[in-house]
Amino acid sequence: GRGKPIQERPGNVRFRDMLDNHMDKYERQGKMGGKNKVSAYIVQMVKEEGGRFLKKLKAGGWVEVDEATARAKVSHAFRARRGVFQATLKNYKSTA
């Protein structure tokens, strides 16, 4: 979701931590299914912790998405976090 209140929810914070912890593994995978396996693993981890992947309805409210949509959301989140992750590494290397 978008916006500070949604981003600060504990589940979304844990989700971003999972992405950061698995970013290297995701980036090392080829396009022939390896990235999808990492995304599926993240979906499984979120669900095992009681989390869900939700979509906001136009009429208001939220609905849980199917497995394929959840994997697509995770893959998109990996791509979106790529810049944040690389900037963090760059700052770390410049201070070390």
pTM of the model: 0.80
Band of pLDDT at residue 72, cut at 50, 70 and 90:
very high
**C-alpha closest to that of 19 among 75, 96, 62:** 75
Phi then psi for residue 22, to 5 deg, are -115, 10
Band of pLDDT at residue 57, cut at 50, 70 and 90:
very high
Evaluate if residue 1 carries a pLDDT over 80. Answer: no
Q: And the tokens for 29? A: 């995978």
**What is the pLDDT at residue 30?**
79
Phi then psi for residue 24, to 5 deg, are -60, -45
**Angular region, 56: left φ>0, alpha ψ -120 to 50, beta rest:** beta
For range 41-48, the mean pLDDT: 96
For residue range 73-95, what is the model confidence (pLDDT) as tens digits?
A: 999 999 998 877 665 555 555 66
> CB 32: neighbour CB atoms within 10 A?
7
